[in-house]
Amino acid sequence: MRLFFATLAFVLSTALMIAAQDEARADYGTRAKGAAQVVVAVVQDIQPRFDVNQYGDRLIISRTLLRVQETLKGATESVVEMDLEGGTIGDLTLHVSDLPALQRGSGIRAPICCGQASCTD
């Protein structure tokens, strides 16, 4: 009986992980479809700052400077700026679960909507 429940728990957890991966892929496709630009780039610089979103929440927003290696959609530019929720100021860090945590020199494939990583209607 224990073996049955252990197997059932394993199967359910595996199914949930696969579903989450499919959702993430679909989410990227949806964001790319609505984006003005989609680029493959390397992070050149990150400047975090405090800002307030449309709901009045005080957040850390990182202005990210991207050196474009390839343009997959939209206007071709050599450098693109993008605001990304999250970052570190002093010893305070904000992690946003559905956005990448970027570092200087890291590669990224990014859908960009009006200079932001997330597209809103």
What's the number of domains the chain is made of? 1
Residue 62 in domain: yes
Question: Rounded to whole angstroms, how far apart are CA atoms 119 and 33?
Answer: 10
Residue 43 in domain: yes
Residue-by-residue DSSP string for 1-34: -HHHHHHHHHHHHHHHHHHHHHHHHHHHHHHHHH
Token duo for residue 97:
């679960």
Residue 18 in domain: no
Residue from 117, 100, 107 nearest 63 by CA? 117
Q: HSE of 67 in the Cβ direction (CA atoms, 13 Å)?
A: 8
Q: For position 7, what pLDDT does the model report?
A: 44
Span 28-45, average pLDDT? 78
Residue-by-residue DSSP string for 85-110: E-EEETTEEE--TTS----TT-EEEE
Residue range of the domain that includes 88: 35-112
Q: Which residues pair with 45 in a beta bridge?
A: 65
pTM above 0.75, yes or no: no
Residue 23 in domain: no
Q: Is residue 21 over pLDDT 50?
A: no
CA distances 86 to 8, 48, 94, 119, Å, are 37, 8, 5, 16
Per-residue DSSP letter, 45: E
Q: Is residue 53 over pLDDT 70?
A: yes
Structure confidence by residue, pLDDT tens digits, 65-108 = 888 888 888 888 898 888 888 999 999 999 988 777 788 877 77
Q: For position 114, what pLDDT does the model report?
A: 52
